[in-house]
Amino acid sequence: MADTAPAAPTEAALRAALAESYLYLSRHGLLELNSGNVSCRFGDGILISPNGASAETIRPGSFVAVAADGSAAGSGRPSSETPMHLAVYARVPEAGAIVHTHSDHCTALACCGLGIPGFHYLVGGFGGDDIPCVPYATFGSAELAELAGAALARRKGCLLGNHGAICHDRDIAAAAARAHRLESIARQYLLARQAGTPLTLTAENWRDYHAMAAKFRYG
């Protein structure tokens, strides 16, 4: 019998998953008040959280359908960061979902213009040997969209200068977990800087890590 591809999730299933992940991120302190936003691919466009969303107001029906050209369907008003999400999807074909947060430790580093060097092997799960911080650009701007899109074309997450963080992954549950991991790594890096000068892995260490990660499909 020939293998058949799994059926694509229905719109209702995508909306439910987005709402569930939004609440997960809120419970873990990554989305506070109405900061941050989440999205996933939907047909030729995306579903994205509405402008001004919060854990108290978000519902599966809240997410706004937006076409690839940025036009929104229905009466909902999409997040002001819709251009950034669309830019990442355009640059990264494997990105199925995106999470943008203003989580504390990521934002603290971003406000110092600091990326996260390869001080821990889990940094490698983001696709390289560091997690970059892109320069500041006004929220909702084409400039910010370009900076984030370029960074996430080579990494699964980055910091946004004087702003926050953004991650992508295959689906919204994985993207939410990746955002949680990024905040954890940022916290550990800040703690390591308080304790001393964090050591970074060598080029040989990274070759070994990426070989092992590929073997075990890790990260």
Active site residues: 81
Written as one string, the DSSP assignment of the chain is ----PPPPPPHHHHHHHHHHHHHHHHHTTSS-TT--EEEEEETTEEEEPBTT--TTT--GGGPEEE-TTSPBPSS--B-TTHHHHHHHHHH-TT--EEEEE--HHHHHHHTTT--B-SSSGGGGGGSSS-B-EEPP--TT-HHHHHHHHHHHTT-SEEEETTTEEEEEESSHHHHHHHHHHHHHHHHHHHHHHHHS------HHHHHHHHHHHHHHT--
